[in-house]
Amino acid sequence: MRIKIINPNTTQGMTDAIARCARAVAAPGTEVIAVSPPMGPRSIEGHYDDALATPGLLMEVERGERQGVDAYVIACFGDPGLFAARELARGPVIGIAEAAMHAASVLAPGFSVVTTLGRTRGLVWHLAQRYGMERFCRNVRATELAVLELEVPGFAARATILDECRRALDEDGSEAIVLGCAGMADLCAQLQDALGVPVVDGVTAALKWCEALVALKLRAAKHGEYARPIAKRYTGDFEKFSPA
């Protein structure tokens, strides 16, 4: 099967790291295609970035449909464009926040999300509510690390994240940690070893969920809300997005 992982930001180094983590857990016979769109923000750290990342993300989904991709992972913890992508795709589309929260909810009675900037905490709580995860999510904690700081060699990001995870376990009563950024994916195993509790990275969780759904021969519903977009002409810079 072919699974396309779309990092909706345009930072190639982060996309490469995401790809390595996904390929390390992919089943034999799964081809992992990891891409960044040709347009969009370098990092996604709020609602504005979320909105402007979506057009490039949807371009990559449409391209994947022409390439025969079986399923998609949206590798940003805000799950930007998730429902719109499901209108375009024949196969499953999974967001990493969606996958990580659901995985954590079956591993522990409660989890804390450890994310980047404090300004994104409200967005994460909104997703927890949307996915029915509020009763499992004990807290959303910010490290105040910018997303691109996770890419800086030698930067003390791991120590900062580890300290916040420990506070989550001590203060929130959580039994598991959800990593609230795709850029943290390569830290997951180290953090889990250090903490001794489940630490869930949404990139790998979403990839395995996609593999399971494809193996079960399940596709996205195409009647009603997730039907293909209605054919119409868009104008201006969005003309190229006009649904056929």
Residues in contact with 217: Cβ distance below 8 Å, sequence separation at least 6, in sequence order: none
Q: Point out which residues pair with 2 in neighbouring strands.
A: 31
What is the rounded average pLDDT of the residues 84-89? Answer: 98
pLDDT confidence of residue 207: 98
Q: Which of 215, 199, 203, 123 is nearest to 166 (CA)?
A: 199
Domains (range + CATH), the chain:
2-96+204-235 (3.40.50.12500), 97-201 (3.40.50.12500)
Task: Tell me if residue 112 falls in helix, strand or coil.
Answer: strand
pLDDT confidence of residue 153: 67
pLDDT tens readout for residues 178-224? 999 999 999 999 999 999 999 999 999 999 999 999 999 999 999 99
pLDDT confidence of residue 163: 96
Residues in contact with 41: Cβ distance below 8 Å, sequence separation at least 6, in sequence order: 9, 10, 49, 52, 53
pLDDT confidence band for 155 (50 / 70 / 90): low
* pLDDT of 152 strictly over 80: no
The secondary structure of residue 120, as a DSSP letter, is: G
What Cα–Cα distance (Å) separates residue 161 from each residue in 34, 105, 147, 149, 227?
Answer: 25, 21, 12, 12, 40
What is the rounded average pLDDT of the residues 101-115? Answer: 98
